[in-house]
Structure 1
Amino acid sequence: MRRALDALYDGAAWLAALAMIGLLAMVLLSIASRQLGFHVPGTDAYAGYLMAACGFLALAHTFKRGEHIRVTLILLRLKGRARRALELWALAAGTLLAALAAFYAVRLSWQSHLFHDISTSNDATPLWIPQLSMAAGSIILLVAFVDELVLEVQGRRSHATPDEALRNE
């Protein structure tokens, strides 16, 4: 199960990296088209869609690697049961928030599909298509939070040392 979850997080990160390459391509195409006197419609909109995909698809991988910003001022001073209780509370709250975000991201994408919502830009893209990356990234983040919560309950979760925590604060 651990391999499958890690493959899920890594796969989402690779998709985020591909979206970032696509974002670069859209920006370069937009710049080149302005300089060379032609217009490619939709490059700004697609750059925005790809930027959202980059952010959402990388969330779980970043979280699992301990790269999200955490306020550890209190946490590092606590020991034993108090620290474990605070970790459990934080992971439970994060799981709840990730579940809400995933629910509403999926709902938004589904409603955009039902209502045939399209971009107001000149590309007229059905919005449910780029919203899928937001929904998928939110679901994968929820899976990562549940994963961390289960590991913490089982006592198998690794914690950052004070030196490690300083690199992302």
Structure 2
Amino acid sequence: MRRVLDALYDGAAVLAALCMIGTLAMVLGSVIDRFHTLPLRGMDAYAGYCMAAAAFLSLAHTLKRGEHIRVTLVLNALGTQGRRALQLWSLSVAVGLSGLFAFYSARLVWQSHAFHDISTGIDATPLWIPQLAMAAGTLLLFVAFVDEWWLTVRGRASQVREAGV
């Protein structure tokens, strides 16, 4: 199971990196379009879609690598039991909030598809398509928080923290 979860986190990070490249391509296309009359309208919207996809798809990978902002001042002041209790509490809250975020993101995708919602720009893209990346990213973040919570409950540190990263 550990390999599957790590592969999911890494795969989402690769997709996020590709979305960043997509953002660059869209911005460059938009710049080129301003100097030459090419049929590249709507590139700004697609750059925004790629940027949002990169942000959401990278959330779980960032969490599992220990790169999210953490206030360690309080954690370091507590003893072992206090640190574990605070981590369990904060991870429990994070599981709940990320679960709600994932649920409502998926619901937004479903509603956009059901109502045939399209972007208001020149591209007229069905909005459920770019929203899929947000829903996938938030669902994967929820899975990552559950993973961290379960590791903490069982008294195991995540592999990254054990490695000292």
- Match in the other structure for 1:96: 96
- Match in the other structure for 1:8: 8
Mapping for residues 119-158 of structure 1, pairs under 5 Å = 119-158=119-158
Shift of 1:36: 2.1
- Match in the other structure for 2:61: 61
Shift of 1:33: 1.1
Return the alpha-carbon distance in structure 1 between the equivalents of residues 92 and 32 of structure 2.
Answer: 48
Query: 1:13-48 CA deviation, whole Å, 9 max, x = no partner?
Result: 000011111110000000111122445111011001
Return the alpha-carbon distance in structure 1 between the equivalents of residues 121 and 93 of structure 2.
Answer: 37
Show structure 1 runs of 5+ residues with no match. 165-169
Runs of 4+ in 1 over 6 A off after TM superposition: none
Return the alpha-carbon distance in structure 2 between the equivalents of residues 139 and 160 of structure 1.
Answer: 23
Query: 1:112-140 CA deviation, whole Å, 9 max, x = no partner?
Result: 00000000001000000000000000000
Mapping for residues 29-48 of structure 1, pairs under 5 Å = 29-48=29-48
Show structure 2 runs of 5+ residues with no match. none
Return the alpha-carbon distance in structure 2 between the equivalents of residues 42 and 12 of structure 1.
Answer: 26
TM-score (norm 2): 0.94
Structure 1, 146-155 or 70-79: larger mean CA deviation: 70-79
Q: State the identity as a percent.
A: 64
Q: Measured at CA, do residues 160 and 5 of structure 1 come closer, stay the same or move farther in structure 2, by a change above 3 Å? A: closer
Matching residue's letter, 1:152? T
Return the alpha-carbon distance in structure 2 between the equivalents of residues 61 and 125 of structure 1.
Answer: 28
TM-score (norm 1): 0.92
- Is 1:18 aligned to 2:18, yes or no? yes
Matching residue's letter, 2:77? R
Shift of 1:160: 4.8
Structure 1, 120-129 or 32-41: larger mean CA deviation: 32-41
Query: 1:64-86 CA deviation, whole Å, 9 max, x = no partner?
Result: 00001111111111112111100
Return the alpha-carbon distance in structure 2 between the equivalents of residues 114 and 76 of structure 1.
Answer: 49
Return the alpha-carbon distance in structure 1 between the equivalents of residues 37 and 70 of structure 2.
Answer: 47
